[in-house]
Amino acid sequence: MREFGDFDFIIVGAGSAGCVLANRLSAGGAHKVLLLEAGGADTNIWIHIPLGYGKLFADPSVNWMFETTPQRELHGRKIMQPRGKVLGGSSSINGLVYIRGQKEDFDAWRAQGALGWGFDDVLPYFKKAEDQARGANAYHGDDGPLPVSDQREPHPLCDAFIAAAQECGYPANDDFNAAVQEGAGYYQTTSRKGVRVSAAVAYLNPIKSRRNLHIETKAHVTKLVIRDGAVTGIEWRAGDENFFANAGAEVILAAGAIGSPQILELSGVGDGEHLRRAGVETLVDAPGVGAHLQDHLQVRVVCRAAKPVTFNDDMNNPLRTAWIGLLYLAQRKGPLTVSAGYAGGFFRTTPTAPSPDIQVHFINYSTTKMGDKLHRFSGFTASSCQLRPQSRGECHIVSPDPYAAPAIDPNYLGCDLDRRTNVAGIKLLREILHAPSLAPFVEREAEPGEGVRSDEDILDYCRARGASLYHPTCTARMGDFPDAVVDSRLRVRGLRKLRVVDGSIMPSVVSGNSHAAIVMIAEKASDMILEEVKNAGEAEVRK
């Protein structure tokens, strides 16, 4: 075991949260920071091209390529669960959509014991992170590191979708991240001038030269070093060598909703029975570690287009494909600038729903599943996602081997409400797709097809074709639950000098894409950590 050195802070994971932490904690030069990332540098060209996310779903050089356990309510299928294994983490391979969630999400966190995490508490940190292309206002900031931009160009199909939603009685909405989330419109993205801006590009690239910041890639963390109830350092493997480093202040896990509970359990922190079965000695019995996993399930409706206006048409024509490439190279415009959600919206499936319970992603192409080649026919896709699933699953290690993938069980469609809401989501999509503004573009429904009409048949389609929207959260929950893993300052209960700062600490999943909320969590955590360090220093001086 080779000693790597002494640091004030050691951060595990250079993803959406870890990059923020590395930037903020190393600012000013007072603290020595080590950032460890299991993946490599973000040099893959497809990372930086927005539509390139489709190329990254099956690329093990930047993707952990996880999959779930067989899902009982999805006909026993294993569901792809991509997670970023590269600088920037999943923000380097995601669909770029910038959605914060609903005000009610964060107020619910506060009600569940996460003091200081209500909407009014977290809004300043969303604004602090943001470089909003439209400028600052009561809900947005424009001098933060993370660019948030409008789509480069409108598209006739997306315009028709927004108009069709209005014809069905749903409002238009040009800002899903302001006072009201409900309605249909274009999504904003974490990009600038047609190029993806990951957390690594936004937060790490400008400060990599700081002398007090050390970034290690290809560093696979194997365990925490725990002595006398405190975490004093970290162990990892790089190539054929094992390393350890000491943390004077604390270790911060930012390895995500899969990686953080995995590292905790490998270190003996978790449910004693799970650890015993995995062959790991229990040091801290923490039943909440790896429990309560939530993820968004999406189910798609695919239409054959009556007009050749889809991305399928472009990519199935060699000349048009070449033109698209040249257009992007010359102007950073065209289809390659499009995110995973071009347009979409947030809708209520019942009039009595207190807030939108369905998110729709609308895109001008179609494929059998994410990562596959586009269909040969002209096609486009609308997907429905239940925003607040009630089903909860789990994520646990299966052995002491740090390289063994954990067992990931989101328990999709595990309760009746989730099944009913997903059926209602497909009905809502069909209502919009049959509205007058979209009618000229629709030749026919390809999936699930007009023959799938009854609630039972629609539910069976959801079970056969439902897939992850890639937002795993809640596996190290914050709050006053009996099995909460962290307190409101994200300190791990039962241990000193250890924090978790990533999507795993959410008490419940946010109503939308998760990247923006995770960046916010890290911004707020950075302030809390620095405040505690300052207070401790002042207390020491007073002695």
Residues carrying an active site annotation:
471
Q: Which tokens belong to 513?
A: 């894409």
The set of residues, in sequence order, having a beta carbon less than 8 Å from that of 536 and lying 6+ positions away, is none
Place of tokens 């009618």: 439
Cβ-proximal residues to 537 (8 Å cutoff; 6+ apart), any chain: none
For the CA atoms of 464, 465, 469, 472, what is the dihedral angle to 10 degrees? 20
Give 9's strand partners.
33, 250
Alpha-carbon span 29 to 8, nearest angstrom: 11
Q: Is 180 helix (H, G, I), strand (E, B) or coil?
A: coil
What three-state secondary structure class fits 351?
Answer: coil
DSSP β-ladder status, 66-67 and 80-81: antiparallel
CA angle, 392 as apex, 390 and 396 as ends, to 5°?
Answer: 170
Residues with Cβ within 8 Å of residue 300, at least 6 apart in sequence: 381, 382, 383, 384, 447, 465, 467
Give the C-alpha separation, 304 to 514, whole Å: 30
Residue where the block lists tokens 């909703």: 257
Its sign, for the CA torsion 366, 369, 374, 376, is negative
Classify each residue of 188-204 as buried b or exposed e, where b means 16 or more C-beta atoms within 10 Å of its C-beta. bbbbbebbbbbbbbbbb
461 Cβ contact list (under 8 Å, min separation 6): 299, 426, 447, 448, 452
* Three-class DSSP category at 187: coil
Q: If we measure between CA atoms, which residue out of 350, 357, 358 comes closest to residue 301? A: 358
User: What whole-number distance in Å separates Cα of residue 41 and Cα of residue 17?
Assistant: 17
Task: Write the burial class of residue 319 (CB in 10 Å: 0-12 exposed, 13-18 middle, 19+ buried).
Answer: exposed
How far is Cα 40 from Cα 92, in angstroms, rounded to an integer? 12
Rounded-to-integer distance, Cα 177 and Cα 437, Å? 26
- Residue 491: Cβ within 10 Å count: 20
Q: What are phi and psi of 119, to 5 degrees?
A: -60, -45
- Across the strands, what pairs with 238? 241
Asked whether the beta carbons of 522 and 20 are under 8 A apart, the reply is yes
Of 283, 291, 246, residue with least CA distance to 266: 283
- Residues 261, 255: Cα–Cα separation, whole Å: 9
In three-state secondary structure terms, 225 is: strand
